Structures are given as structure tokens and as C-alpha cells.
Amino acid sequence: MAQHYRQTIADVLKEFDNNQHSSQFYMDLAWKGLNHSNIIAWQNVISQAERNRVDNVIADYINQYKSENCQ
């Protein structure tokens, strides 16, 4: 189920962002709304190394754009 929603979220992000990044980037960002919940795929399917990588991608993105205003 998480895979379905991740793909849907990633597709919307990619379209909204005019496909400026890799598909993996959007899939990583899609975890943001899922990884802190009790999602089995986050806890049991992907490795700790992969979770760390995804968390770093998300943190880097947030830090890069935290001072920008929404338009």
C-alpha cells in the first residue's frame, strides 16, 4: 500500500516541479509523509542504510529551501 501511495505522491511532485530532478528524488521525498508513521514498508522492507539515505535527501532538501517563501 505504501508503494502505491509513494508512487502517486512522487508522480504529483514530479509534475508540479516540472520534472527537474530524478525519479528517485521524488520517490525519496514521497516518504516524508509516510516514514514517521507506523508504515510496515518503512520499518521492515527497506534497510536502515536506505532509510538513512532517504532521511538525508529529505533533510538536505528542507535545508536548501527553508528560507524561501511559498508563492
pLDDT in tens, 17-68: 999 999 999 999 998 877 666 777 788 878 889 999 999 999 999 999 888 7
Task: Count the residues in the chain.
Answer: 71
* Helical spans, DSSP H, in 1-71: 2-16, 23-30, 40, 48-65
For the entire predicted model, the pTM comes to 0.78
How is the chain split into domains, by residue range?
Answer: 2-65
- What is the distance between the alpha carbons of residues 12 and 5, in angstroms, rounded to a whole number? 11
**One-letter amino acid of 54:** V
